[in-house]
């Protein structure tokens, strides 16, 4: 059965034009062709990336965070409570009011104490600011190097450089897949490795993938974690302009034009041709969706509203103690009760 599936998957009429066979792509006369088995090398390279990332985050990103004065907020830990912990792990991290009242009776805590416990417990699960900074630093460094290398590869007419560009980028995305469980989690988001798919025109995906637009968001995150709001906003302006020009103008009207029309001058359309261009259309649809989000954020920026990553998981403020003090003693001023001097004087 496996052999049958293997034969169907590598059926020549799926991936090659009618006038070509796999035998035509065998190495001969000094010409070397890419093979599917070459992808095996990306797995050990991905593991190497994980090792390099650990060393980078430990010996480069962490000291850099100190230089940029990236400070952690003091987090109050939730006191151990078996009843609340069981509900948190098995049912919901955000209990409804009816659940809070039920848990209050079961645990012997007040409703306010239960709400406070869940706030603190959720904050414990959120990644620290240093962890976010280290991850953004690692991705920014790789994307910057990949962008510079991509520009060099586009200029270089030698196929080996393009081959290794693909292998290294694919290895990097494998490493991100391996570390997805420990990386900073986002509420929503669609990854973009679709642009890594092979192409009948070798330089087309290189031009569309040279990851300049991936550098800007990561560097903006770094400066945001460091509290450099103006720098972060300026980077966002550059990112928005570059993204719209490259992904909504250059990619559809130059790159996709080449992949749709030029191959038909060499051979009739076949499944691989339609499959690749379908994937390019999916990628372009994602770009349009991302551009919509970027433009919406730009509108907020222009109108003076705060521009944030809408996927970010914000830390909740644990202000329940202050609320309790207000309930008991009235408004607070610098943490101390404000005396009410409006009482009526007696004669």
The pLDDT assigned to 70 comes to: 87
Overall average pLDDT of the 153-176 stretch: 84
Asked if residue 328 is part of any domain, the answer here is: no
CATH code of the domain covering residue 110: 1.10.10.60
Q: Identify the band that residue 20 occupies on the pLDDT scale cut at 50, 70 and 90.
A: confident
User: Is residue 322 in some structural domain?
Assistant: no
Q: How confident is the model at residue 309 (pLDDT cuts 50, 70, 90)?
A: low
The answer to whether the Cα torsion of 31, 37, 43, 44 is positive or negative is negative
Closest among 72, 95, 97 to 84, alpha carbons compared: 95
Q: What is the pLDDT of residue 336?
A: 41
Give the pLDDT confidence score for residue 79 in this predicted structure: 87
Q: Residues near 239 by Cβ (< 8 Å), separated by ≥ 6?
A: 213, 216, 217, 220, 294
Q: Is 275 domain-assigned?
A: yes
Higher-confidence residue of 6 and 320: namely: 6
Split into its structural domains, the chain has a count of 3
Does the pLDDT at position 95 exceed 80? yes
Task: Give the angle subtended at the CA of 150 by the CAs of 146 and 152, to the nearest 5°.
Answer: 120
Q: Strands of the chain (E only): list them.
A: 332-333, 336-337
Instruction: Let me know whether 260 and 299 are in one domain.
Output: yes
Mean pLDDT of the chain: 79
**Can you tell me the distance from the alpha carbon of 135 to that of 287, in angstroms, rounded to the nearest whole number?**
24
* pLDDT number for residue 196: 34
Say if residue 99 is in the same domain as residue 132.
no
> Are residues 44 and 180 part of one domain?
yes
- Within this chain, do residues 120 and 132 fall inside the same structural domain, yes or no? no
In a domain, 5, yes or no: no
Listed in sequence order, the DSSP H helices in 246-316 are 256-261, 271-302
Is 244 found in the same domain as 105? no
Q: Rounded to the nearest 5°, which phi and psi values hold at 109?
A: -100, 160
**Domain-embedded: residue 43:** yes
- What span, in angstroms and rounded, lies between the C-alpha atoms of 39 and 45? 10
In tens, the pLDDT along 61-73 reads 999 999 988 877 7
Element (H, E) at 194: none
Residue linked to tokens 């962890």: 131
Do residues 58 and 151 share a domain? yes
For residue 61, is it within any domain? yes
Please indicate, yes or no, whether residues 232 and 115 belong to a single structural domain of this protein: no
Question: What is the pLDDT, as a whole number, of residue 212?
Answer: 59
How many CB atoms within 10 Å of residue 211?
21
* pLDDT at 206 > cutoff 60: no
Tens of pLDDT, residues 182-201: 887 765 444 433 333 334 33
Examine the domain organization and report whether 106 and 134 are in the same domain. no
Does the structure show a pLDDT above 50 at 8? yes
Return the structure tokens found at 280: 């390019």
Q: Are residues 150 and 59 in the same domain?
A: yes
Q: Which is nearest to 244 in space by CA: 155, 278, 232, 236? A: 236
Query: Helices 159-178 and 42-56 meet at what angle, rounded to 10?
Result: 70
Split at pLDDT 50, 70, 90, the class of 306 is low
Whether 165 shows a pLDDT value over 70: the answer reads yes
Please report whether residue 323 resides in a domain.
no
According to the model, what pLDDT value does residue 252 have?
Answer: 92
In a domain, 95, yes or no: yes
Is there a single domain that holds both residue 52 and residue 143?
yes
The pTM of the full predicted model, rounded to 2 decimals, is: 0.74
Within this chain, do residues 56 and 102 fall inside the same structural domain, yes or no? no
- pLDDT tier at 54, thresholds 50, 70, 90: very high
Going by pLDDT thresholds of 50, 70 and 90, the confidence category of residue 128 is confident
Enclosing domain of residue 45: 37-68+128-186
179 and 42 fall within a common domain = yes
Q: Kindly state the average pLDDT of the residues 221-226.
A: 87
């Amino acid at each position: 059965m496996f052999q049958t599936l293997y034969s169907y998957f590598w059926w020549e009429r799926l991936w090659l034009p009618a006038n070509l066979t796999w035998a035509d792509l065998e190495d001969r006369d000094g010409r070397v062709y890419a093979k599917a088995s070459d992808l095996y090398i990306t797995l050990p390279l991905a593991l190497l990336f994980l090792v390099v990332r650990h060393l980078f985050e430990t010996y480069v990103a962490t000291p850099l965070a100190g230089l940029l004065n990236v400070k952690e907020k003091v987090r109050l830990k939730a006191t151990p409570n078996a009843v609340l912990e069981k509900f948190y792990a098995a049912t919901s991290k955000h209990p409804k009011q009816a659940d809070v009242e039920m848990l209050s009776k079961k645990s012997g805590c007040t409703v306010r104490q239960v709400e406070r416990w869940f706030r603190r417990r959720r904050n414990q699960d959120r990644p620290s600011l240093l962890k976010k900074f280290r991850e953004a630093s690692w991705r920014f460094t790789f994307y910057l190097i990949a962008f510079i290398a991509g520009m060099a590869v586009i200029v270089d007419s030698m196929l080996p450089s393009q081959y290794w560009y693909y292998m290294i980028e694919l290895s990097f995305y494998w490493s991100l897949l391996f570390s997805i469980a420990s990386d900073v989690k986002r509420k929503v988001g669609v990854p973009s490795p679709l642009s890594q798919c092979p192409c009948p025109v070798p330089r087309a995906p290189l031009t569309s993938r040279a990851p300049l637009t991936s550098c800007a968001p990561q560097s903006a995150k770094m400066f945001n974690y460091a509290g450099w709001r103006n720098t972060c906003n300026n980077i966002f302006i550059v990112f928005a302009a570059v993204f719209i020009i490259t992904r909504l103008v250059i990619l559809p009207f130059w790159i996709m034009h080449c992949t749709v029309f030029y191959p038909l001058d060499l051979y009739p359309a076949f499944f691989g041709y339609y499959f690749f261009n379908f994937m390019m259309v999916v990628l372009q649809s994602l770009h349009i969706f991302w551009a919509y989000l970027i433009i919406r954020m730009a509108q907020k920026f222009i109108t003076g509203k705060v521009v944030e990553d809408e996927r970010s998981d914000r830390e909740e403020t644990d202000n329940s103690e202050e609320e309790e003090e207000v309930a008991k003693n009235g408004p607070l001023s610098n943490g101390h009760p404000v005396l009410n001097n409006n009482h009526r004087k007696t004669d």
